[in-house]
Structure 1
Amino acid sequence: MSFIRSYQQVISKIKQKIDPFSLQFRLTVGITAVSIFGISSIAIWTSWKMQQLLISSPKQNIQHITKRFPQDVELYSEMMSVETGLKKAIDNRTTPNLLIWVAYPNKVIAAKSITLVAPPWQGNDTSTQLLSLSGMTIEPEIYQINQRYLLICGIPLIVKGTKIGNLYVAQDITSEQTMFEAVIRSMGIAYIVAIVTSTVAIAIYIKRSLQPLRQMSQMTQVISVEDLGQAQLHLEQAPSEVKELANTFNMMLSRLSQAWEQQRQFVSNVSHELRTPLTIVYGYLQSTLRRSTNLTEAQQEALEIAASETDSTIHLLQDLLDLARADSGYMHFHLESFFINDLVAEVVGMAQQFSSREIVIETSSYPIEIRSDRNRLKQVLLNLIDNALKYSEPNEPVTIKLAQTHDNVTIQICDKGCGIPLQKQAHIFERFYRVDEARGRSTGGAGLGLSIVKTLIEGMDGSVTVRSKLGEGSVFTVILPAP
C-alpha cells in the first residue's frame, strides 16, 4: 500500500508540474515529434540501404549463376543427356553456401546440389522446405528457414529453346543478416538514447528560452497600484522579441500610472471642491430647520430629507477624500501608545447614544496598551460598530472583545446578524462593493466604509479580516501592534 501511495504521489506531482496547455509543453512536444520523424526517416532509409549493400554481392552472384546456368547445361547436353548435363552443371556451380536445384513443371526434382541431401544447417527439414518452394520471382528475395536466412530466386530453365523446368538458386546469407540485425539493434538502442537525450535537451533549452517570459510574469505579479509610476521591466539577456514586449509593457505601465494619477487627482479635487459648498448648504438647511415655526409639515419634512441627504453626501465626499489622500501617500498617522480599553469605552458610549442598542465589552485584561493613531482608530471602531448595528437584529447585542498577546492587540467586533455569503467575503473590503445591492444608502451606505477601515488599519501597520456564516453573524478582527 505504501508503494502504491508513493507512486500516486509521484504521478500527482508530475501532473502538477506538466501543464499540457503551456507553451513550453507544446513546443517540447512539437519539436520532439519533428525530431522523432526526422531521425526515424533517416534510420529507416539507413537500414534499407545497409541491407541492400549487404546482399548486393550475393545478389550479383545469384544473378550471374542464373544467367550462365542455361549455357552450361547446353554445353554438357551436347556430350551427354540433359539429366546428366543438369547434374554436372549443378555440381560445377555448387559451393558450401550455394544450393541449386531444378524442378520439372510437375514439381518433381530433376537435379539438385549434393548438399541438399544432407544440408550443413539443420537436417532434412531444411531441404524439404527448400525443395517445396515454388512461384519465386526472378529478382532474389530473402527467406527465413529454420533460423537461417537464404537469398533465393527462381527462373524458367530453357535449354535449346525448350523449357525443361524451373531453376532455383539459394545462397546462405545468415552471417550477413545476423550482422545486419546486430547493427539494427545497436541503431535502435542509439535511436532511443538519441530521442531521450534530444527530448531532455529540447525541454531544457525551451525552458531556458522561456525564462524571460517567466521573469516578466513574476515581476508583473508584484506590481501594485502604488508601484505603477516606478515599475519597469528590465530583461538584459532576453531575445529581441521579448525585449520589445517588455518595452511595450513598460509603456503600458506608464500610461496606466498617468491614468491612475489623473483619476486619483480628479477624485481628490472633486471631493475637496464639493465638500465646502455642500457644508454651507447643510448649514443653511439646519439653520432653516431651527427657525421652522412658520413652515408647514410638508416643508419641514422636505428640508429634513434634504439635510439628511446633504449630510450623507458630505460623509461620502469625506470618505473619498480620505481614500484619495491614502492613495497619494498624503495621509499621515500620529502613532502613540495609549490604553485601548478607554478608547473602546468612549466609542461604545457614543454609539449607544445614537442607537440605544446593547453593546457588550469583553476583555481578557485591563489595561491593554496599544500603539496606534487614536483618532484614526476611533474612526475604524465607529465604522465597524455602526456596520454591526445595521446588519444585526435590534434585540441582539453587539460584542466587542479585546485581547492582548506578546506582540499584538486583537479587537473583535461580533454581531449575530444575517451574515455574509462565503463567495462575497473576499470582496467586502473593495471600494463601492455592497453585499446587498437592494439596500438603500440610508442603511447600506455607499460601500466605502470597510474600504476605509482596511486602508486605515494597514496604514497603522495592522490587519483586518472577517469571518462570517449565514444566519449566525459576522466577526471582524482587527490586529494592531503592541508597543
Structure 2
Amino acid sequence: MKKDDSPLHHQKVVWKGVKKSLSSFLSFLKRCKASIVFKTAMVYVVMFGIVLVIAASVMSAAFVSYSAHSGELERTMSFVVSRLQSPAGQLFDFEEFAQFSKTMIEISDVRTHQMVRFGEEITDVSEKMQTVRRIDRPDQHLMIKVVSTEYTNAPFEGGIGIAYAFALAGLLIAAILLGSLSTKKLLHPVYVMTQTARSITASDLSVRIDEGNSNDELDELARTFNEMLDRLEEAYRKQNRFVSDASHELRTPLSVISGYANLLRRWGSEDPVVLEESVTKIIEETDNMQQLVERLLFLARVDQQTQAINPELFNVSELMSQIVKETRLIDDSHTLCEQIDPGVTLTADRALILQAVRAIVENSMKYTPPGGTITLSCRAEGTQVCLSVADTGIGIEEKDLPYIFDRFYKADEARSRQAGGTGLGLSIVKWIVERHGGEIRVSSIPDHGTEFHILISRQLCLPT
C-alpha cells in the first residue's frame, strides 16, 4: 500500500501527540510554583506554539514532497531526452512509458510545428506539475514537455490548499478552546471559593476550601480565605459565648433585685429588719450590675477599637499610694502593706493604669480571707516600671492559670459568685497592660496566695 504523505496526513500525525502531552503539561503547571498569570500565558504560548509547529511541519512536508515529485519529473524528462537522442529512440514505446510514469509526454517539432502526445490526455496542463526542455541539434529541433497526471503545480493548489486553510483555522479554534479549558482548570479554585462563600451562613462557618497544590496565587488565596474563616468562626464563637455569659451575669442580679423588691412589697413596710436587708441587697446587686455593665461597655469599645489611650508623664508612686489609701477606707478586714519606691515616673494613660491596678486589688480583696495581707509594690527596674499586688488569699490552681485572663472565666464558680466576681476584671487588666506594650505575670500557690506583676516601659511604646 502506498504511504500517504499528503499535508493533511502529516497534520494528523503531528496532532496525535498533542492530546497526550496536554494533560501532563497541565499537571506540571499545577505543581509548578509560579504566578497564575505566567501559567495562563504559558498555556496559550504552548497551544499556539503547537499550532505553529503543526503548520510548519505540514508545509515542510508538503514542500519536501513537492521537491521529490519535481525531481522525479526531471528524471523522467532526462530519460525521455536521452531516448530521443539515442539512435534507437524511434523504437522506444513512449506511450507505455508515459502510462507507467503517470505523465503526459508532449513532443513538438519546432520547424514543422508537428506535435505528438503520449499518455493520458490533459486538457489544462497549467495546474499540473510539468517540466519543459528544448533539443537543438542539426538534425533535431524539438520542444519536449513532460506533465504529471498525478501532482499539481504547487503544494497547496486546488482542494489541498483549501483543506489546509480549513485545517489551520480549525487548529487555531481548537487551540483557543483548549487554552480556555486549560485556563478554566487552572482557575478552578476561584469557582470553588465562590461556591464555598455562597454556602457559608452565620449558623455554619465550618466550611473550608480545599487548598490543593497549585503553588500559585490561587493556592495562597485559598489558604488566606480558610484562615479568614477560622478567625470568623473563632470570633463568632467568642461572641456567642460573650453574649451568653453576659446574659447569665445580668440575670442573677436582676433576679436578686426582683426577689427583694417583692419581699419589700409584702413585708418590708412592717418589718424594719426585712426593709434594711432588702434595701442593702438591692443596692449591692445594683452596684454589681453597674460594674458589670461598665466593664461590658469597656470591652465593647476594645472590640471596636475605639477605646482611646491618652498617655501622659505622671508619678506612678503617688498613684500606688493613692490606691492604698482608698482601699484602706473601704476595706478594714485586710492588712494593707505598701513597698513603694518614691519618685518613680511613667509615661502612660494614668486613668487606665489606675483602673488596672484597682481591678487586681479588688480581685485580691475578694479572694483573700479576712485577716489576710495585701501588699502593693512599685519600683523601677532599668527601663521598666514594675507594679505588683501580692496577697495571702486562696490562690489559683495551676490548671486555671492560663485562662484567668479570658472573659467570664472563673476558676471556682461558687466562690466567684459568693465573692461577687464577674470574670471580666482581669481580661480588662490584660488589655490595658498589653495596649501599653507591657507584660503581666502571675504566680500563685493554692491556699498560700497570688502575686501579679505589671511590667511597663517607662517610655510609652504602643504596639502596632
Higher relative contact order (CA 8 A, sep 6+): 2
Per the shorter chain, which TM-score range? 0.3 to 0.5
Structure 2 length normalisation: TM-score? 0.45
